[in-house]
Structure 1
Amino acid sequence: MASPRNPNSERPGTTRRTAVGLILGAPLLGACSGVQQTLSSFSNPVGGSQPAPAGPPQEPLAVGSGQVKVGLLLPLSAAGNAGVAAQSMKNAAEMALAEFQNPNVQLLIKDDAGTPQGAQQGTQQALDEGAEIILGPLFAVSVPAAAQLTRTRGVSMIAFSTDSSVAGRGVYLLSFLPESDVNRIIEYSASTGKRSYAALLPENAYGNVVEVAFKQAVGRRNGRIAAFEKYGADRAGAARTLAQALGQADALFLADDGDAVVGIADALTAAGANLKNIQLLGTGLWDNPRVFASPALQGGLYAAPDPAGFRSFAGRYRTKFGGEPVRTATLAYDAVALVAALARTQGGQRFSPEVLTNPSGFAGIDGLFRFRTDGTNERGLAVMRVGSGGGQPVAGSPKSFGA
């Protein structure tokens, strides 16, 4: 499955703090909350729909001297953006161990080369070396291959794919799933009195997932879908059709990456739609300089993690490694901090489904998150408003999950 493109690093921050505590009976992974949301590629978090070809295999690597062994699968030898992201995520994982203060964890880092075969081989090696849980892989196409082995051993996996179809029994996704964006922005808009919705979505894998989430979210709030269109190459035609029905709606949901959503807004304006008379709604993909510079999108609302957490993380990362982290680096940080916290506090059941699916959830760099029993996740997101200077928070991230 392919879809939106890949925004990578963000602005650095400076705060430093330790990485563990307790919140709501669940491990607190970090005092920093949030980040810019950037769904890279829908099945490939670093861009493109397929993993990059493998390079030469890397030497086995273990980090830390703890008794609890944790496998970490990354496409370290993959070419292009995939290899760059893998190195940044590896750095972040090591940073989490260093900031955690004497965790009883040893990371077994395996290069999966960005392929299913590599993921299966790396998983087998990690399990044979005593891994109690597997973190990774990064690509959706590699998750089922690795999961065949972890399920046979009764070992949990926390993967980084944004494709919720690969989640399932014993396979949990720690990534930015579009469903969380949609649920948050529709819940917020309904709380401000919006009842009638229009939507214009891309005809691709990302758009299909967002469509299902959008229709379910509107239904939960007893809202009405007044107009709905999807577009492929003919954006202008879909925009003309939708523009004619906008008078029946009080909110318009547009879900695409920054460049595309600007083009859609311009097409709607050209078709006669007055976007100033309707509340524009979007997803975390709106966190993009093109969106902030678009006159048509000013005042639009979108769901995303609060950016403060990533700024702080990026500052610490820059100080330690001399460069900027890719956007997915926080996923590796939070995954390692989570397993370190569970290893410290949860005894022999530390990585069991019951512990991992604690309904109180966990707090990490990217704010609150919790794993659902189906392997997908729910995130506590802020609501941001588009302004010429960037996104401005209008509703903060929740401090706890509701009952």
Structure 2
Amino acid sequence: MPAEHRSRTILRFLAIGCVSLMLASCLGGTDRGTAGGGFSAPTGTVTSQPLDAIDGGQPQQTQGAQAKAVLILPLSASGGAGAAARSMKNAGEMALSEFKGTSLQLVVKDDLGTPQGAAQAAQEAVSEGAQIILGPLFAQGVAAAGQVAKQSNIPVLAFSTDASAAASGVYLLSFLPQSDVERIVSYSVKNGKRSFAAILPEDAYGSVVEGAFQEAVARNGGRVVGLERYKAGDQGAMKAAVSRIAQSASGIDAILVPDQAPAIAGMLQSSGVDLKRITLLGTGVWDDPQTLNSPALAGGLYAGPDSAGWANFSQRYQARFGEAPVRTATLAYDAVLLAAALTQAQGVAGLGTQALTASSGFKGIDGIFRLKPTGLNDRGLAVMKVQPGGAQVVSPAQGSFSVAGL
């Protein structure tokens, strides 16, 4: 993940009744055409079934041979990474316990937060007969584990947000900055915004966002009229970047501020920029209390998953473990439940590339997602507006990948 400080900005999140996880896929190998398995769980925890069943199909329960999934996390890493890993481990084990009747066996391994540890854990997974590897968390670890897994044709479902870690057979389940940027830009253009600017940090995350921003604006028929970078952590450089954007504010409809949004919004106001006329735009990085409670960001828009699934998951997690989960815990939960559901539907064959990359996708805690053959993913994201008392959904997340443009 860029600069290893974004796992859906994991260090920032430490410092993204009954929930349905409808694992919708072409479980038989064609888009929505063949029936998959019908998945069940105890009332009040999790239910799961293919979209085919929801649309009127008759799912059949099929119990396959036992399969093994290995979950690789930096459990003994220091600081926030280790704490996040332990929360994700809990979430993965919770997923398996809530999904009844699965033949999946889950084994958890510690990669020590290093590429060498990830490679060793992956090698152990191969030697022990794993059919799928879930994790690692960090991009270098994903690359190391993926190299080992590929030699044995074992798929990897990883949690890094660094798109460079993706490859055929190495799939990223995480929230990718590119998806956030595309969603918020396309929504803005559809609602009358044409001239865009951006204020971005000079780090790996900022570079990824810059590329996605330039592409998204061009693809949606807008134009970039200003783009400034600042050295991360340098307040003087940040003020200078803001000042340059403020000088051309009269020709700007919207400004993308993915990081340090409260501070930058305050600087823009102090520079005389009318934030009632110009809309501030953000990514899922905004989805934390400090950002959402900033008066300067009131009226700003950002893309991210609908919070309903997260809220319900958090309640169940806290009731089980006595503490709140980290925001990235849903990734581990969805990864384990996906493996369990596909195994129940098709046995070991369900963990192959064809089922994992079903174009109709799956629905998890944070909404719909699908894994691309390239290793990247698509996600259905909502657009939220920052309001006093919390964010309000102004454009709901898509419910399926039959929606045009997805």
TM-score category (smaller protein)? 0.7 to 0.9
1:328 is matched with which residue? Answer: 328
- Shift of residue 345, structure 1, vs aligned partner: 1.9
AA partner of residue 130 (structure 2): A
- Shift of residue 7, structure 1, vs aligned partner: 3.6
Give, in whole Å, the separation in 2 of the partners of 1:302 and 1:27. 36
AA partner of residue 245 (structure 1): S
- TM-score (norm: length of structure 1): 0.85
> Which segments of structure 1 move beyond 3 Å, counting only runs of 4 or more?
7-11, 16-32, 346-349
* Unmatched segments (≥5 aa) in structure 2: 27-31, 40-45, 49-63
Bigger Cα displacement from structure 2, 312-321 vs 2-11: 2-11
1:299 is matched with which residue? Answer: 299
1:210 is matched with which residue? Answer: 209
Give, in whole Å, the separation in 1 of the partners of 2:205 and 2:12. 16
Query: CA-to-partner distance for each residue in 1:260-316, whole Å, 9 max, x for gaps?
Result: 211111222222212221122111111233333323211011001111101100111
- Shift of residue 101, structure 1, vs aligned partner: 0.9
1:309 is matched with which residue? Answer: 309
Kept in 1: contact 2:19–2:47 (CA 8 A) = yes
AA partner of residue 334 (structure 2): D
1:44 is matched with which residue? Answer: none
Query: CA-to-partner distance for each residue in 1:202-247, whole Å, 9 max, x for gaps?
Result: 1111110001111111111111112221122211111111111121
AA partner of residue 329 (structure 2): A
1:252 is matched with which residue? Answer: 255
AA partner of residue 175 (structure 1): S
- Shift of residue 9, structure 1, vs aligned partner: 7.0
Kept in 2: contact 1:75–1:86 (CA 8 A) = yes
Give, in whole Å, the separation in 2 of the partners of 1:157 and 1:373. 12
Kept in 1: contact 2:25–2:358 (CA 8 A) = no
Kept in 1: contact 2:21–2:363 (CA 8 A) = no
Bigger Cα displacement from structure 2, 182-191 vs 192-201: 192-201
Give, in whole Å, the separation in 1 of the partners of 2:114 and 2:365. 28
Over the aligned positions, Cα root-mean-square deviation in angstroms equals: 2.4
SS at match of 1:302: strand
Kept in 2: contact 1:254–1:280 (CA 8 A) = yes
- Shift of residue 77, structure 1, vs aligned partner: 2.0
2:244 is matched with which residue? Answer: 241
SS at match of 1:275: coil
SS at match of 1:360: coil
Give, in whole Å, the separation in 2 of the partners of 1:10 and 1:202. 18
Give, in whole Å, the separation in 2 of the partners of 1:150 and 1:318. 34
Query: CA-to-partner distance for each residue in 1:305-333, whole Å, 9 max, x for gaps?
Result: 11110110011111111211111111110
Bigger Cα displacement from structure 2, 348-357 vs 332-341: 348-357
Percent identical among aligned pairs is: 51
AA partner of residue 369 (structure 2): F
2:378 is matched with which residue? Answer: 378
Query: CA-to-partner distance for each residue in 1:2-53, whole Å, 9 max, x for gaps?
Result: 2555243799xxx235655646738899669xxxxxxxxxxxxxxxxxxxxx
Give, in whole Å, the separation in 2 of the partners of 1:400 and 1:133. 26
Kept in 2: contact 1:19–1:96 (CA 8 A) = no
Distance 1:311 1:120, change over 3 A: same
AA partner of residue 269 (structure 1): Q
* Unmatched segments (≥5 aa) in structure 1: 33-64
- Shift of residue 350, structure 1, vs aligned partner: 1.7
1:390 is matched with which residue? Answer: 390
SS at match of 2:71: strand
SS at match of 2:351: coil
1:228 is matched with which residue? Answer: 227
1:160 is matched with which residue? Answer: 159
Kept in 2: contact 1:19–1:28 (CA 8 A) = no
Distance 1:95 1:249, change over 3 A: same
Distance 1:384 1:19, change over 3 A: closer
AA partner of residue 126 (structure 1): A
Give, in whole Å, the separation in 1 of the partners of 2:115 and 2:140. 6
1:8 is matched with which residue? Answer: 13
2:191 is matched with which residue? Answer: 192
Kept in 2: contact 1:10–1:310 (CA 8 A) = no
SS at match of 1:88: helix
Give, in whole Å, the separation in 2 of the partners of 1:191 and 1:139. 35
Give, in whole Å, the separation in 2 of the partners of 1:113 and 1:396. 39
Query: CA-to-partner distance for each residue in 1:349-379, whole Å, 9 max, x for gaps?
Result: 3222222121111100011111122111111
AA partner of residue 13 (structure 2): N
2:96 is matched with which residue? Answer: 97
AA partner of residue 152 (structure 1): Q
- TM-score (norm: length of structure 2): 0.84
Query: CA-to-partner distance for each residue in 1:50-90, whole Å, 9 max, x for gaps?
Result: xxxxxxxxxxxxxxx97111111112222222222122111
Kept in 1: contact 2:87–2:326 (CA 8 A) = yes
